[in-house]
Structure formats: structure tokens, C-alpha cells
Amino acid sequence: MKVVGAGLGRTGTHSLKLALERVLEGPCYHMIEVFEHPEHVDVWRRAAEGESVDWSCFPEGYVACVDWPGGAFWREMADANPGAIILLSTRATSDAWWKSANETIFQVMDSARVDFPGWAEMIEALFRTRFTADVTDRPAVIAAYERHNADVRANADPARLVEWKPGDGWAPICNALGVAVPDEPFPHVNTTDEFRAMAGLDGAT
């Protein structure tokens, strides 16, 4: 693995996934991969509950990892992949991140909206142990987001840490990886409107 994403969901991670796959010419793990690999759900749940995982070979076959659930285990994944850069993606402000997360992923965390075996148990364990359990509590959620980012900044090897915000484009990532900047626009996908349309949130009561 060449990139360990330490940023949480709704920090441009889907765009990062596409960008990293472009410059690294390999697959990048993201929450959407979990739906394609149902056998991973229980691994993430058990990891969140403190069971040991061999991070040197999980998730197998990926050149990078961004978004939840991997971002919650950035330290373990970075230790297991000492040659990887640590990519901390954030939003311009904590309030901007909260607005995006609250209008998208937090609304589909209810198991009634995600008909996928083990999903609710995985998410509950992940947020309870690695973030905050009640995503309706705005102050607690923002505090958890800020605490996570502060932990990365304080404990990641500065020589490996790359910070990135949506809008920063290719340069910070490509420079850290030592690869050429593609002659094409940086991907911009999974906006709030696109997510809500995909998840069937608009018009829901």
C-alpha cells in the first residue's frame, strides 16, 4: 500500500479514490468497497472491537485506502505499510464537514436504509470505539472529527504526512508520491446532491 488515508468520510474521499487509482494505476479501498466485499464487514467490526487484524495483508490487493472504515485505523495501517504516505484529508472548516456529513452519510447510517448483512453492527462498533456513538449530537460529532484530525497531526511521522483539502488538486499528492501531475482535471464526484440522489434521501419523510 502506497497511501494510507487518515481522513474521515465527506472530506473528498471518493474523489481521492479516483485520483489515486489514476496516478497509482491500482485499486483504492473506500467504504463503497465494503459493499462489494461482504466478507470484509465482520473483519472491520472485529477490528473496531479490539481484535487483532494483520494489516499487512488486509485489505488485500489495494494500493491505497481512503474514507471510513480504513481512516479510523490509519495508525495500524501506516505501521503495517511503513513506505506509505499518510494522507489526511479535511474540509475547510469543521462546520462545513458537519453539514456535509449530516446531510449525507449520517442519514443512511440507520440500518433501515442499508439492507446489508452485518452493516449496522459494523458501523455501531466503529463509531462507538473510534469516533462517537451518537451522530445526531452535533457538538460531540464535531469534537470527534477535530480530535481525530489532531491525533493524526500529533502522531503521524511528519515526513510521511500529507494534508489535503478538496480544491487542492493533484499537486500535494503527486509531489509526495513522486509521480507526474496528470494533464486532466482532478476528479470531483459524490457531491452532497449526488449522494442524496443516489441514496434516495431527497423527498424522504
Say which CATH number the domain at 69 has: 3.40.50.300
Cα 74 to chain center, whole Å? 10
Total count of domains within the chain: 1
Burial of 8 (0-12, 13-18, 19+ CB in 10 A): buried
Do 124 and 132 touch, CB atoms closer than 8 A? no
Q: Is residue 128 part of a domain?
A: yes
Do 194 and 14 touch, CB atoms closer than 8 A? no
Q: How far apart are CA 108 and CA 204, in angstroms?
A: 12
Q: Is residue 50 part of a domain?
A: yes
- Domain range for residue 57? 3-199
Cell of 185: 482535471
Q: Is residue 14 part of a domain?
A: yes
Q: How far apart are CA 42 and CA 196, in angstroms?
A: 27
Q: Is residue 204 part of a domain?
A: no
Do 141 and 101 touch, CB atoms closer than 8 A? yes
Q: Is residue 124 part of a domain?
A: yes
pLDDT the model gives residue 105: 84
Q: Is residue 205 part of a domain?
A: no
Q: Is residue 42 part of a domain?
A: yes
Do 11 and 90 touch, CB atoms closer than 8 A? yes
Q: Is residue 81 part of a domain?
A: yes
pLDDT the model gives residue 112: 45
pLDDT the model gives residue 120: 87
Cα–Cα distances (Å) from 148 to 19, 38, 134, 205, in that order, read: 24, 27, 16, 32
pLDDT the model gives residue 188: 84
Averages of pLDDT over each 10 residues, the chain, 205 residues: 96 95 98 93 97 95 97 98 98 95 80 69 95 94 98 98 96 97 88 52 50
Do 68 and 161 touch, CB atoms closer than 8 A? no
